Structure 1
Amino acid sequence: MQSTPFSADSSVGQILTFLQRNGEATIRELEIELGVSTTAVREHLINLDARGYIATRLIRNGRGRPRIVYSLTEQARDVFPRSYDTLVTVLLDEIARQQGEQGLTQLLDSVSERLAEGYQQAGKGNLESRMGNVQKMMESRGIPVEVQPDSQGFTFYACPYHEVAMDHAGVCAMEKHMLEQVLGHSIQNETSIRSGSRVCSFSVAAGDNTIALVE
Structure 2
Amino acid sequence: MRPLDKEKTPATICPEQMFLPAFHDMLKPQWLATLTELKEAGGLAVSELSRRLGTSYMTVKQHCEDLTKLGYLKRSRVPRTEIGRPEIFYSLSEKADALFPAIPAEFTLGMLDQIQKMFGENSPDRLLFQYFQDQGEGWKARLAKGSTLLYRAQLFAKIRSQEGCFTRCLHDAEGGRIVLREFHNPLGSILAKYPRAVAMEQRAAEHALGGKLVREVSGEAGGIPAHVDFILAAPP
The answer on whether the counterparts of 1:109 and 1:177 sit within 8 Å (CA) in structure 2 is no
Paired residues for 1:56-205 under 5 Å: 84-119=104-139, 120-123=141-144, 124-149=146-171, 150-191=176-217, 195-205=223-233
Distance change >3 Å, CA 196–CA 139, structure 1 → 2: closer
| Alignment length (residue pairs) | 135
The two structures have a TM-score, normalised by structure 1, of 0.51
- Structure (1 or 2) with the greater strand fraction: 2
Letter paired with 1:171: A
Report the RMSD for the aligned CA atoms in angstroms: 3.2
Q: Over residues 60-114 of structure 1, what are the superposed CA-to-partner deviations in whole Å (9 max), with x where a residue is unaligned?
A: xxxxxxxxxxxxxxxxxxx9x9983222111222233344443332322211121
Could you say what secondary structure the match of 1:203 adopts? strand
Distance change >3 Å, CA 96–CA 3, structure 1 → 2: farther
Distance 2:161 2:124 in 1: 28
Could you say what secondary structure the match of 1:142 adopts? coil
Q: Which has the larger radius of gyration?
A: 1
Higher relative contact order (CA 8 A, sep 6+): 2
The answer on whether the counterparts of 1:153 and 1:202 sit within 8 Å (CA) in structure 2 is yes
Distance change >3 Å, CA 83–CA 127, structure 1 → 2: closer
Q: Over residues 164-210 of structure 1, what are the superposed CA-to-partner deviations in whole Å (9 max), with x where a residue is unaligned?
A: 223222332332122112112221221165745310111225762xx
The answer on whether the counterparts of 1:111 and 1:174 sit within 8 Å (CA) in structure 2 is no
* Counterpart position of 2:86: none
Distance 2:113 2:195 in 1: 12
The two structures have a TM-score, normalised by structure 2, of 0.47
Distance change >3 Å, CA 175–CA 137, structure 1 → 2: same
Could you say what secondary structure the match of 2:143 adopts? helix
